[in-house]
Structure 1
């Protein structure tokens, strides 16, 4: 259920969807952004004053990190294995990061174009530690579109 224009939403939970496979146990998403270069045009105005005009440049590729608790699911490992061995045709995928509200309904979707995994980091392994083991997947992408 979409929120009214002036309300904001708390991201209750997050999901990662690639190739129609939805991973709902994402606990953190960092680095998700759209960015572009800025071009500075230096010129003289009609009355002879020096002016700098800023223009939009090329879009920049991005990188996002998703974190989840360590599980038996090995989809992250299978995906990064393709990129590590140069099988980029199967490693590059289009997918989405989904933000769910408290009822589990998607409220926003960030579509990642030509995304592939850059790294997989397992949380610190400490004997006797009571914190949850996590895995962080860094995903690089060529562009991002916002949906919903």
Structure 2
């Protein structure tokens, strides 16, 4: 039986879930990437030709950047402080970036294993500016898994 055709997803609604806390006010997520090293094996074949074989190496999870408008929610700051002061037993968390459909049903999860905040940046403060003040949280993790 063939699988039914599916519409592609629109990346308009997503959120972060860490230890049961869901934050949906995120405006941008970047860096969701699964990558691995490439090992080059250089050798000669039986007939004397030089070939290079490419083999899969170690996985290299990327840093994920979350951007949202500045609010009075302190979750990003509290989490960043845990890592800043070396309390890694509480700073390392498991969680996921969740993509939702138009009816707010989760359609894809990008699980982050042993994630912790690498940096927290507040947008530029400029007198007379009327743009939204943002904060960026960069999360590093040991593995990204798609569900």
User: What's the TM-score bracket when you normalise by the shorter of the two chains?
Assistant: over 0.9
Q: How do 1:36-51 residues align onto structure 2 when only pairs under 5 Å count?
A: 36-51=36-51
- Whichever structure has more strand as a proportion of its residues is 1
Distance 1:40 1:65, change over 3 A: same
Shift of 1:12: 1.4
In structure 1, the partner of 2:24 is 24
CA distance in 2, matches of 1:100, 1:12: 8
TM-score by length of 2: 0.94
CA contact (8 A) 2:41 2:54 kept: yes
Alignment of 1:137 with 2:137, yes or no, is yes
Please give the TM-score of this superposition, normalised by the length of structure 1.
Answer: 0.93
More deviation in 136-145 or 95-104?
95-104
For the Cα contact (< 8 Å) 2:33–2:61, is it kept in 1? no
Per the TM alignment, residue 132 of structure 1 is displaced from its structure 2 partner at its CA by: 0.8
2:124 corresponding residue in structure 1: 124
The reply on whether 1:105 has 2:105 as its aligned counterpart is: yes
Superposed structure 1 runs of 4+ greater than 4 Å apart = none
How many pairs align? 144
Q: 1:130 Cα shift?
A: 1.5
- Pairing 1:53-92 to 2, within 5 Å after superposition: 53-92=53-92
